[in-house]
């Protein structure tokens, strides 16, 4: 079953004719994803790879193809407009892969979607995948995934792939994997994804990968302690980062004691999560916890 995506997910790619959009749309198609539409203003009426119709506007794409998931590869200055267009067209699930979206733009979008029936993943994220449904919405390498019962959620795309690679190498499949994004303001928090995994009957364990900066990990720890019924293995990266220096992600910057790796690890340990010592230990730690279930 997994979360967010299933066999009924119909994907529309905004920016499908651009370099990144076309490359990753082809990878999604090759994985088995139902990519039913593309949107690029001025390119309406064209066909992408002879199979996917391209439209000028999202509303038309949704009306004619029944698309219910948006995958956004639109340049940073226009990415939030693309999100708003999909929301206005009634798309319930949006993944914005774009990196470098201005923070003030995201503040406005966060307020815009607050009371609307939509879930935004990202921006600056790898997207999401459901291996059992053969549905990939984003930039993750599909070949490393295998169907199973472990959920993965991470702020880091690269560490998502590392976690999945280790799990798969040990014969441990994934129910779903979600990269929520590394920007200061994103559409969906750790706690929200943890709640979806906890409610998913086909997820037995969650691998959680956080990093320095912000307070999302502490909020997730509070959720785990108060609500989570399934075991969580947690890794926090960035322990050696100097205060005030951004480390890779725009949101990965130590701005106070709570933003340090040590504070986050302590909160998660207190919440009952099994702490993963280093990135090299993700698979082994998950395997050990699964053997104890």
Catalytic center residues: 249
Q: What angle do CA 53, 58, 59 make, to 5 degrees?
A: 110
Q: Which secondary structure element, helix H or strand E, spans residue 204, and what is its range?
A: none
Nearest to 11 by CA among 125, 117, 155, 128: 128
Answer yes or no: are the C-beta atoms of 182 and 248 closer than 8 Å: yes
Tally of residues, the chain: 293
**Cα(21)–Cα(73) distance, integer angstroms:** 5
């Amino acid at each position: 079953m997994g979360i967010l995506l299933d066999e009924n997910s119909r994907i529309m790619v905004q920016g499908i004719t651009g370099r990144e959009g076309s490359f990753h749309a082809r990878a999604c198609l090759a994985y088995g994803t139902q990519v039913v539409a593309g949107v690029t203003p001025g390119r309406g009426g064209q066909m992408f790879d002879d199979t996917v119709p391209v439209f000028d506007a999202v509303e038309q794409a949704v009306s004619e193809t029944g698309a219910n998931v948006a995958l956004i590869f639109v340049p940073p200055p226009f990415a939030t407009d693309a999100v708003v267009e999909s929301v206005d067209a009634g798309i319930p699930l949006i993944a914005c892969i774009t990196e470098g979206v201005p923070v003030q733009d995201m503040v406005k979008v966060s307020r815009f979607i607050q009371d609307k029936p939509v879930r935004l993943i990202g921006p600056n994220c790898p997207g999401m995948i459901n291996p059992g449904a053969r549905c990939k919405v984003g930039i993750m390498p599909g070949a490393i995934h295998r169907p199973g019962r472990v959920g993965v959620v991470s702020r880091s795309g690269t560490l998502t792939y590392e976690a999945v690679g280790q799990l798969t190498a040990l014969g441990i499949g994934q129910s779903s994997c979600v990269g929520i994004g590394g920007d200061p303001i994103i559409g969906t928090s750790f706690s929200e994804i943890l709640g979806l995994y906890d409610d998913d009957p086909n997820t037995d364990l969650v691998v959680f990968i956080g990093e320095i900066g912000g307070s999302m990990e502490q909020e997730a720890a509070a959720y785990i302690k108060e609500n989570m019924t399934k075991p969580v293995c947690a890794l926090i990266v960035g322990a050696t980062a100097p205060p005030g220096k951004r480390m890779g992600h725009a949101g990965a910057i130590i701005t106070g004691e709570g933003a340090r790796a040590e504070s986050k690890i302590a909160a998660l340990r207190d919440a009952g999560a099994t702490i993963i010592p280093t990135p090299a230990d993700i698979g082994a730690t998950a395997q050990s916890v699964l053997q104890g279930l």
